[in-house]
């Protein structure tokens, strides 16, 4: 009888621990245009400097969720780099959040492609989950007041005239 109580207690404790770990993933978030952008604080792997949304208040932020294993992410990367070059002095900041679990793959990718905008890894996907990101790449244009101005699902050519002109009109 005592053994069955111990087993039951162990099951309850393990179940509670499991629920504690997966509870954040049970809530379905869906951040869209007009919503306040969730804040975050990530550690950048290569520099050790933090990546925080609050550090870019007063600027437009293009927040891009990506991964090294995501071919559409790789395909859109050159245009993100070009966009950063085009607008870096005009009040637009490109931020990248990688969901890669492998730090070496992430760092090798940054070095190989010469990513010129701030980026950090979110291997547990806490930030992307808070934004409701389910497909990569997914990008949020956040206005200077911290609200999502536009959400882009899937790859984008960031140097398309329509996109560049739209961004220029905001800045």
Residue 140, SS3? strand
DSSP structural state of residue 154: S
Are 132 and 28 in contact by the 8 Å Cβ rule? The answer is: yes
Q: Is the pLDDT of residue 38 over 80?
A: yes
Helix (H, G, I), strand (E, B) or coil at 43: strand
Confidence of residue 26 (pLDDT cuts 50, 70, 90): low
The β-bridge partners of 42 are 51
**pLDDT, average across residues 60-79:** 94
Confidence of residue 37 (pLDDT cuts 50, 70, 90): confident
Domain limits, the chain: 28-170
Structural contact between residues 24 and 129, judged by C-beta atoms closer than 8 angstroms: yes
The encoded tokens of residue 122 equal 């979110």
pTM of the model as a whole: 0.80
Of the candidates 132, 131, 124, the one whose C-alpha atom is nearest the C-alpha of residue 21 is: 124
Q: What number does CATH give the domain 28-170?
A: 3.40.30.10
């Amino acid at each position: 009888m005592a053994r069955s109580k111990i087993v039951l207690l162990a099951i309850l404790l393990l179940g509670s621990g499991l629920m504690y770990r997966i509870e954040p993933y049970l809530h379905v978030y869906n951040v869209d245009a007009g919503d306040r952008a969730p804040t975050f604080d990530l550690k950048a792997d290569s520099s050790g400097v933090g990546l925080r949304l609050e550090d870019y208040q007063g600027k437009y932020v293009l927040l891009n969720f990506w991964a090294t294993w995501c071919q559409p992410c790789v395909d859109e990367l050159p245009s993100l780099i070009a966009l950063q070059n085009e607008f870096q002095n005009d009040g637009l900041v490109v931020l990248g959040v990688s969901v890669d679990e492998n730090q070496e793959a992430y760092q090798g990718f940054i070095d190989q492609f010469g990513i010129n905008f701030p980026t950090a890894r979110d291997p547990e996907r806490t930030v992307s989950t808070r934004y409701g990101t389910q497909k990569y790449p997914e990008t949020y244009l956040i206005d200077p007041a911290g609200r999502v101005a536009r959400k882009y699902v899937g790859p984008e050519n960031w140097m398309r005239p329509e996109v560049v002109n739209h961004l220029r009109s905001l800045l």
